[in-house]
Structure 1
Amino acid sequence: MSRSRDSRPRVLLVNWRDTGHPEGGGSERYVERMAESLAAYGYRVEIQCAAYPGANPGEWRDGVRYRRRGNKFGVYLHALRAIKAARANLVVDVQNGMPFFAKLVAGCPVLVLVHHVHREQWISALGETVGRLGWWIESRLAPWLFRNCRYVTVSEVTKGELADLGIDRSRVDVVPNGLDAPPPCGAQRSDRPTLVAVSRLVPHKRIEHAIDVVAALAERWPALRLEIVGHGPWDTVLRRHAEARGVADRVTLHGWLDEQGKHEVLARSWLHLCPSVKEGWGIVIMEAASHGVPSVAYRAAGGVAESIVDGRTGLLADDFGDFTTRVEELLTDHARRARMGLAGMSRASGYSWDQSAEMFESLVRDVAGLTAPRPRILTAHRVHELVD
């Protein structure tokens, strides 16, 4: 279909990474699922993101056009050029700590997507000087720049954090992460106490804490094992950490697994550990719940305090000592763990990507000023038939 004849409303999403990026994770998954759903509703959807080795600089996938330009820093300049050149009805500025400043050049409304606030991560990732500058941009400059824009986030917790930055709650909509139904799995719950952590292997996910839990409980739980699913630059660091703590024989780092493999590991585990510094929501917490596996996470880690119903579908901890205590409580109390597992399965069944997609499309339509509802007449895979 030629561009001149394409009358579909156009949405441009500018994001740091896509799911194929070596550092891609849950937030990228959310962006792509929402983009694919908009394509299924009949929008022309484009994602501008960073390039990475082996990636096609441009392609159509599931009805969405991807443009990959620039590295982790240069992507911002390329995104501004794309925003300025776009003939879009709406630009979605995905603010992963650093915004794309879309409001400066966009010729259409801007919707700001924030998964979580990065207060704790700036200095730990970039050092004192640059970190303070980054936090000033996120906490002061961005709220001022987008003072007349609508926001969308994935949890009420993050909505509250945005309110703390001066962003009025009336401008913030919550569209939660969805969830795919788990595939049938051949794995059964292990006879041996098994912990699992599913995560990108990067510093702020603090998977070291999961290894430290095993070390702390090793003497009382001689059969305890930890399975780590995921890949990233922290892989070697974690392997060395397990060796240094004397638990390398109890820790399995699987690396990247496909969806089936990941769910097989979840299905045989007793508990899921999420020791991250901050999460907007924590998709894998709900994936674990769908297998009847409770999670333990830190209370101060943002959206996990919402994806986990403390005391019902998992437990929240205040510090590492408390984290370890909570893990051992659930390892010991089989009946309580089973009750939490059932409650988690029931809660997880109430989340779906289709429901989230409907909410997101309604918000896009409202912010872009598109009055007529758009029926979802195509599946994302069939949208390939319409692209040029």
Structure 2
Amino acid sequence: MPLRVLLLNWRDMHHPEAGGAEKYLVTVAEGLAARGHEITFRTAAYPGAVAEEVVNGVRYIRRGGRLGIYPRALMANLVRRYDVDVVVDVQNGMPYLSPLTRRPVVNLVHHVHKEQWPVVFGPRLAKAGWWLESRLAPIVYRRTDYVAVSDATKAELAGLGVRSPQIQVIHNGTDHTPAGNTPRSTEPTIIVLGRLVPQKRVEIALETLDRLRDELPTLTLDIVGSGWWDTHLHEKATALGLNDRVTFHGHVSEAEKHRLLARAWVHAMPSLKEGWGLVVVEAGVHGTPTVAFSEAGGPTNSIVHGRTGLLVDQGVDAFVEAVRLLLTDDALRHDMSQEVAQWVTQFHWDESVDRWERALTAAASRRC
């Protein structure tokens, strides 16, 4: 039986700060719509946004800004503005508190934000945000189903008191998109792909380039993505004297993204926290291995250490050494390239949509 589903997420794929989390939700939403389900996606407005539209079978409603979306969405939900069977509440640190509406809810969590609150906000707001996420939310959502995108996130939620049987893991799929006949770059190239915000720590990639440029005089760095931290990163590149070695591509098309991933030797992900790290698998489609921090959580599931990429402990030194190893050891890089291209073939969006369809059907069959 077709379901009427309300998705609550602070961004959609058209938002200038959209990233892997939005790709995940939009892909699932469009997959469900293609199967005949009625999908409404409530999200934040942004400059130039269309207030309401239907894209690939999904109805988008954009109201409120970065923080204003939360009370507005809750009020709309409380007054039953949308006639739906189940609500998907994406808890991106900040909860929508949808269980207060007495509707069936599935709470989607990409990762816990304990480390990120102080990076983005001042001490008081960070403390309040962490209280909402770690104290209030587990109480409000205590009778709801959870979906985590990785086993690492499931463990984090369990650490906050969420019962393990409530949490189902539904991984990202991947687009098995070949980049045509794009050859690997003849010169060593690092790529960073994602939103340009402080918690992504792109500065570490710049520091890596700076430290390795004497050993690898033709080494370059591609930074792909946009965000409000862009100016700071440009200033950092200039201060390090790297302007002739770094290309800031900004937001690019899917085709260009895959072309850049295909030509890179190494994908660097110095992010503070990731639920899964979709770009790890996207890079892997092209045989490009990833270096990431194990402390980030999700990459410990999306990377098989020593086989499809390298995981390092805290510290810039360890990160630089791991990137250096992959750039200079041709045999190791070749073996990892072969293995990661094979390993990522196990992740399919159709399977992710299947599991979401079952989860939503089960949730909708219950009444709060």
* TM superposition score normalised by structure 2: 0.96
1:56 aligns with 2:67: no
Q: Distance in 1 between matches of 2:47 and 2:23?
A: 19
What's the CA shift string for 1:225-281, capped at 9, x where partnerless? 111111111222111111111111111111111011111111111000000010111
Q: Distance in 2 between matches of 1:238 and 1:123?
A: 19
SS class of match (1:349): helix
Structure 1 counterpart of 2:214, from 214, 219, 232: 219
Counterpart of 2:17, as a letter, is: E
| Residue aligning to 1:369 | 365
For the 8 Å contact 1:12–1:83, the answer to whether it is kept is: no
| Residue aligning to 1:71 | 65
What's the RMSD between the two structures over aligned residues?
1.2
| Residue aligning to 1:337 | 333
| Residue aligning to 1:259 | 254
1:313-324 map, 5 Å: 313-318=308-313, 319-324=315-320
What's the CA shift string for 1:74-118, capped at 9, x where partnerless? 11122113322122110111000001011112x421110000000
SS class of match (2:223): strand
For the 8 Å contact 2:152–2:297, the answer to whether it is kept is: yes
1:30 aligns with 2:56: no
Structure 1 counterpart of 2:6, from 1, 4, 12: 12
1:31-180 map, 5 Å: 31-84=25-78, 85=80, 86-105=82-101, 107-180=102-175
What's the CA shift string for 1:193-218, capped at 9, x where partnerless? 11111111111111111010000111
What's the CA shift string for 1:173-209, capped at 9, x where partnerless? 0110110111342321111111111111111111111
Q: Distance in 2 between matches of 1:196 and 1:176?
A: 24
Q: Distance in 1 between matches of 2:124 and 2:17?
A: 24
For the 8 Å contact 2:5–2:39, the answer to whether it is kept is: yes
Long gaps (5+) in structure 1? 1-6, 371-388
Long gaps (5+) in structure 2? none
Q: Distance in 1 between matches of 2:42 and 2:75?
A: 10
| Residue aligning to 2:266 | 271
Q: Distance in 1 between matches of 2:363 and 2:2?
A: 16
What's the CA shift string for 1:333-385, capped at 9, x where partnerless? 11111111111111111111111111111111111118xxxxxxxxxxxxxxx
| Residue aligning to 2:276 | 281
For the 8 Å contact 1:17–1:49, the answer to whether it is kept is: yes
Q: Distance in 1 between matches of 2:179 and 2:319?
A: 31
For the 8 Å contact 2:178–2:286, the answer to whether it is kept is: no
| Residue aligning to 2:348 | 352
Q: Percent identity?
A: 47
Aligned residues: 363
SS class of match (1:119): coil
SS class of match (2:183): coil
For the 8 Å contact 1:183–1:260, the answer to whether it is kept is: no
Counterpart of 2:30, as a letter, is: E
For the 8 Å contact 1:185–1:267, the answer to whether it is kept is: no
Counterpart of 1:51, as a letter, is: A
For the 8 Å contact 2:190–2:220, the answer to whether it is kept is: yes
Q: Distance in 2 between matches of 1:184 and 1:266?
A: 9
Q: Distance in 1 between matches of 2:330 and 2:307?
A: 14
